[in-house]
Amino acid sequence: MSDLIARVAVAAPLPKALSYRIPESLQHQAQVGVRLRVPLGRRQVVGYLLGFAEQPVEGLKDVAEVLDREPLFHEQMVPFFEWAADYYCHPLGEVIRTALPAGLSGSVQGPAILTERIFALASDSDRPRGAKQRAIVDYLRQHGATAMALLKEQFGNVYNSIRRLVEQGMVEETSRELRRDPFADMPAAADIPVVPAASQQAALQTIDKALKDATFQPLLLHGVTGSGKTEVYLRAVQEALTGGRKALVLVPEIALTPQLVGRFRARFAAAGARLAVLHSGLSDGERYDAWRAVARGEADIVIGARSAVFAPVAGLGIIVVDEEHEGSYKQGDGFRYHARDLALLRGQMCGAVVLLGSATPALTTFYRAQQGQTGYLPLADRVMDRPMPTVVLVDLSQQRPEGVLAEPLRLALQENLERGEQSLLLLNRRGFAPFLLCVDCGATLRCPNCEITLTYYQQQRILRCNYCDFSLRPPDLCPACNGSQLAPEGAGTERLEEELGELLPTAVIGRMDRDTTLRKGAHQRLIDGMANRRIDVLVGTQMVAKGHDFPGVTLVGVVNADSALNLPDFRAAERAFSLLTQVAGRAGRGEQPGRVLIQTYDPDHYVLSCAARHDYRSFYEEELANRQVLGYPPFGYLANCLLAGNDEQRVIAAAEGLANSWQQLAGDGAVEVLGPAPCPLSRLRGKWRRQILLKAASRPPLRRLLSHFNALRGQVPAGVAATIDVDPLDML
Ligand code: ADP
Ligand code: ZN
C-alpha cells in the first residue's frame, strides 16, 4: 500500500494546513472531517482532516491517532472553512475549532457517546422456567427489541433474570446509541394554520421560483413588525423540503426566541420532518449528539444561532437568516466572523437560496437590495389589516419627570392597567443606577480593570462591572474626598421596577434583563407570564424588544431613547432606529391597536422622527448620506486592528510600530491607515487597548493589505496581542 498523506488543519495559530503521513494501521479510519491527534513540535495537538494527497513526501511525521469514528463535517465544507479563514485573517484550525460544537475543542476526547442496552428474543427460544423470565420473554415477543430501562420499568429489578436468559441463549443483547433530547425543555406551540396574505404569497412565489432554479439567490424579506415573516419562512422551508433539499435557519439567540423554534416544531415535527436545534443552552453532550445527527444527514431542518452557520448540512436548498440586522450574528472575539455574511457565502458555494428577514434591515443589506444585488420582497402591512401602533415622542425638556417616568407615560400605564391590557417598558440599562456619584467632589466609582463606572445594584447592595464582573460592597465614604454622600445617578431596570411598584401597586410587574434571567427557565417563565397575561407590565433591557409575539400588549414605553443615540460609534443611529422599531413593534399585535411613547430630550433627531412614522426609507436615505460623507459602509470597507496587553507603554509602542508597517505596506493610498488611537473602552479586563483602523473605498486593496497580517502579527512584541476585526460591527 502506498503512503497516504493527510492535509490537516491543526488547532493552533497557523495560517495554513500541514501534511502528515497516515500510518497503514490508521488508514481505514481516516476520513475527511474526523479529528486527529498529530505531533506539532514537541507537543501533540488536535487537527482536522481536510483531504488527502498521494504523492510520497519525505520526512513527514505520522498521525498519532484518529479521534472520531465518523466525520464531523463533509468535504464540501472544507473550501468554506478555507475561504472564511482567509477572509477574516484567522488561522484555519481555529476557524474549524470555533465551527465545531464546544466540548470537542479543549480535550482530545469529545463528550461521551451514550449507549443503552437493548434486548431481543433469540430466534429459537424455548419457554424459560422462572415466572419473571417467562414474563420477560412474553413481553419481548409482543413488543420486539426493548431497552433495559423500559424492562426495569415493567418488571422491577430484572438484572438477574435477563442475565440468565442471555446465558441460555434465549435473549440476545445489543446496544444502541442514545441521543440526548435537545427538545426536552423547549416549549411546544400549536400550529395555527393561516391563509397567506397577498404580499406573503408574492414573496413565496419568488422564493419558490428561486428554489426551483437551484442556484444561489440572496433575497431580502423586508417586513414590518407583525407582517408575518415567520409564516413565510415556514412555507419557504416546506418548499425546500418538498424539493428534496434541506434547510438551515439562523436566529439571533435561540434562548431569547423560543417562540420561533416552537412554531417550527409545531409545523414540521407533526409532518415527520426531522428537526435539529443547535444552541448554547444545550449541554456539550447534547450539542455533540445533535451535531453528529446533522453530519450523518439525519436532520432536514437545522435551527441555530450564529455558529449554526457551520452546521454540516448537506444538500442545502435554503438558508434563512431571521432578524438579519442583529448584532449577535457577529462574533465579538477570537474568530470574529459575521454569520449572515458567511450564510451568503455558503449559499453561493452550495447553490442555495439565502433568505434574509428583518423589519429594519442592516443599511448595507438594504443598499445591496437597492442596487439589485439582492432580491427584494416587501411585506408592507401587518397581517389581518392590523394598524401599525401610533408613536408619540415625549419631550423630556418640557415634561421633566420626578423619577424615571414623565407624566404622559405614567398616565398611559395607569389607563392600560385599568383596561386590563398589558404594557412593556424598555430601559436599556441593567441594575439600579449606572453609577454612584459623590455629591461633594463629583467622583464616581470606577472598575479597577476596565475604563467604565461600576453599576449600582440596590437589592444586592453591590457595585458591579458589567464587563468583567468585578464587584465591591458600596463604601460609606467617597474614596476620593471622604465625603459621606454617595448618590445613585441615572436609572436602570431595577430602579424602574421600583418606581413602577409605587405607581401601580396592584399590578404584577416582571423584569427581564441579564440579571433576572440567569437561572435556567427564568426567561421562559417571563415569556409564559406575558403570553398567559399573568404579568401586567414587563420592564427590561433590549431583551424585551426581541421578536416576541404577545397579542395582549397595547402599550410600549421607551424610557430613554437618547442613551442609544449618543454612543461613540458610526452605527449608533442604525442600531437605535432598529431597537426603537423592534420594541415599538411589540405593541398592538393582537385585536386591540397599540400605542408607543418614547421619552427623549431630542425629539427632532431624525432617528426618532423616522421611527415614530415607521419610516425606514427616510431613515435609510438620511443615514446613507452621512455614511457617504464619511466613507463608511456601504461606501467603504473597514478592518479594525486591535492591540491589547497588560503594560500600557508596551501596547502604545506596539501600536505605533504596527501602524507604521501598515502605512508602508499601504503605499499608494488606496487604503487609509487611521490611528493608532485608544479604543473607546481604552481599558478592559485589565488590558490596555489601542486600535488602528484600515479603510478603503473598495475591497480588493484592503484584502491585499490584510494578507500581510499573519506576517505582521509575528513582529508584535511579547506581552501584546494583535487581532484583526474584518468588517467590524462596533469599535468600542
Ligand atoms: P413578524 O415576524 O413579521 O413580526 P410574525 O411572523 O410573528 O410577524 O406574525 C405575527 C402574527 O401574525 C403571528 O401570530 C402569526 O401567526 C400571524 N400571521 C402570520 N401570517 C398570517 C396570515 N396570513 N393571516 C393571519 N395571521 C397571520
Ligand atoms: Zn471591569
* pLDDT tens-place string over residues 693-707: 999 999 999 999 999
- Dihedral sign of CA atoms 241, 301, 116, 141 in order: negative
CA distance 661 to 639: 15
Give the cell for residue 214. 437551484
Give the cell for residue 489. 445617578
Beta bridge partners of 691: 642, 677
Residue identifier of the C-alpha nearest atom 23 of ligand 1: 196
Render pLDDT for 170-185 as a digit per residue (tens, 0 to 9). 888 887 766 665 554 5
Q: Which parts of 100-158 fold into alpha helices (H)?
A: 131-143, 148-155
The Cβ of residue 41 has, within 10 Å, a number of other Cβ atoms equal to 7
Do residues 623 and 672 lie in contact, with contact meaning Cβ atoms separated by under 8 Å?
no
Residue bearing the bigger pLDDT, 569 or 239: 239
Confidence class for position 2, pLDDT limits 50, 70, 90:
low
Give the mean pLDDT of 438-449: 91
Instruction: For residue 324, give the nearest of 407, 219, 235, 180 by alpha carbon.
Output: 219
% of the chain residues with pLDDT over 70: 96
Confidence class for position 111, pLDDT limits 50, 70, 90:
low
Give the mean pLDDT of 515-540: 91
Instruction: For residue 596, give the amino acid letter.
Output: V
Residue bearing the bigger pLDDT, 313 or 53: 313
- In this predicted structure, which of 199-208, 379-388, 620-629 has the lowest mean pLDDT? 379-388
Coil vs helix vs strand at 236: helix
Which pLDDT score is estimated for 155?
85
Q: How far apart are the first and last CA of the chain?
A: 57
pLDDT at 310 over 90: yes
The DSSP output letter for 420 is: T
% of the chain residues with pLDDT over 90: 69
The Cβ of residue 487 has, within 10 Å, a number of other Cβ atoms equal to 11
Residue bearing the bigger pLDDT, 563 or 110: 563
CA distance 601 to 200: 39
Confidence class for position 540, pLDDT limits 50, 70, 90:
very high
Considering every ligand atom shown, identify the ligand nearest to the alpha carbon of residue 465 and give its number.
2
The Cβ of residue 494 has, within 10 Å, a number of other Cβ atoms equal to 26
**Cβ-proximal residues to 255 (8 Å cutoff; 6+ apart), any chain:** 279, 280, 281, 523
Which pLDDT score is estimated for 178?
65
Which pLDDT score is estimated for 677?
94
Instruction: For residue 571, give the amino acid letter.
Output: R
CA distances from 117 to 21, 173, 266, 403 (A): 38, 7, 32, 64
Render pLDDT for 91-100 as a digit per residue (tens, 0 to 9). 999 999 999 9
- Dihedral sign of CA atoms 509, 513, 516, 517 in order: positive
Query: For residue 413, what is the enclosing H or E element?
Result: helix 407-418
Query: For residue 630, what is the enclosing H or E element?
Result: helix 616-630
- In this predicted structure, which of 127-141, 220-234, 312-326 has the lowest mean pLDDT? 127-141
Confidence class for position 156, pLDDT limits 50, 70, 90:
confident
CA distances from 469 to 327, 448, 463, 473, 702 (A): 22, 11, 10, 13, 37
- In this predicted structure, which of 25-29, 187-191, 663-667, 695-699 has the lowest mean pLDDT? 187-191
pLDDT mean across residues, the chain: 90
**Residue 3, phi then psi, degrees to nearest 5:** -65, 140
pLDDT at 630 over 50: yes
Residue identifier of the C-alpha nearest atom 1 of ligand 1: 226
**552 C-alpha vs ligand 1 centroid, how far in Å?**
15
CA distance 71 to 28: 13
Burial of 635 (0-12, 13-18, 19+ CB in 10 A): middle
Confidence class for position 108, pLDDT limits 50, 70, 90:
very low
Considering every ligand atom shown, identify the ligand nearest to the alpha carbon of residue 463 and give its number.
2
**Cβ-proximal residues to 630 (8 Å cutoff; 6+ apart), any chain:** 570, 636
**514 C-alpha vs ligand 1 centroid, how far in Å?**
28
Confidence class for position 107, pLDDT limits 50, 70, 90:
very low
The Cβ of residue 398 has, within 10 Å, a number of other Cβ atoms equal to 9
Give the cell for residue 273. 420532518
**682 C-alpha vs ligand 1 centroid, how far in Å?**
44
Residue bearing the bigger pLDDT, 549 or 553: 553
Report whether the peptide linkage leading into residue 448 is cis, meaning its omega lies within 30 degrees of zero: no
pLDDT at 106 over 50: no
Residue bearing the bigger pLDDT, 2 or 304: 304
CA distance 323 to 521: 24
Residue identifier of the C-alpha nearest atom 15 of ligand 1: 228
Instruction: For residue 508, give the nearest of 491, 528, 488, 489 by alpha carbon.
Output: 528
Confidence class for position 205, pLDDT limits 50, 70, 90:
very high
Confidence class for position 141, pLDDT limits 50, 70, 90:
confident
**685 C-alpha vs ligand 2 centroid, how far in Å?**
5
Residue identifier of the C-alpha nearest atom 13 of ligand 1: 228
Give the cell for residue 636. 467603504
pLDDT at 656 over 90: yes
Render pLDDT for 158-172 as a digit per residue (tens, 0 to 9). 888 888 888 888 888
CA distance 436 to 459: 15
Which pLDDT score is estimated for 186?
54
**493 C-alpha vs ligand 2 centroid, how far in Å?**
20
- In this predicted structure, which of 261-275, 419-433, 464-478, 575-589 has the lowest mean pLDDT? 261-275
Q: Which of 222, 232, 321, 383 to mutate to test the pocket of ligand 1 (most atoms within 8 A of CB)?
A: 383
Residue identifier of the C-alpha nearest atom 20 of ligand 1: 228
Which residues contact ligand 1 via a Cβ below 6 A? 192, 194-197, 200, 223, 225-231, 383-384, 547, 549
Residue identifier of the C-alpha nearest atom 19 of ligand 1: 228
Which pLDDT score is estimated for 612?
95
In this structure, the chain runs to a length of: 732
Residue identifier of the C-alpha nearest atom 24 of ligand 1: 194
**426 C-alpha vs ligand 2 centroid, how far in Å?**
25
Instruction: For residue 66, give the nearest of 103, 102, 110 by alpha carbon.
Output: 110
Confidence class for position 105, pLDDT limits 50, 70, 90:
low
Which pLDDT score is estimated for 189?
64
CA distance 584 to 616: 13
Give the cell for residue 236. 419557504
Give the mean pLDDT of 589-597: 92
Give the mean pLDDT of 298-308: 94
The DSSP output letter for 401 is: -
Do residues 6 and 18 lie in contact, with contact meaning Cβ atoms separated by under 8 Å?
no
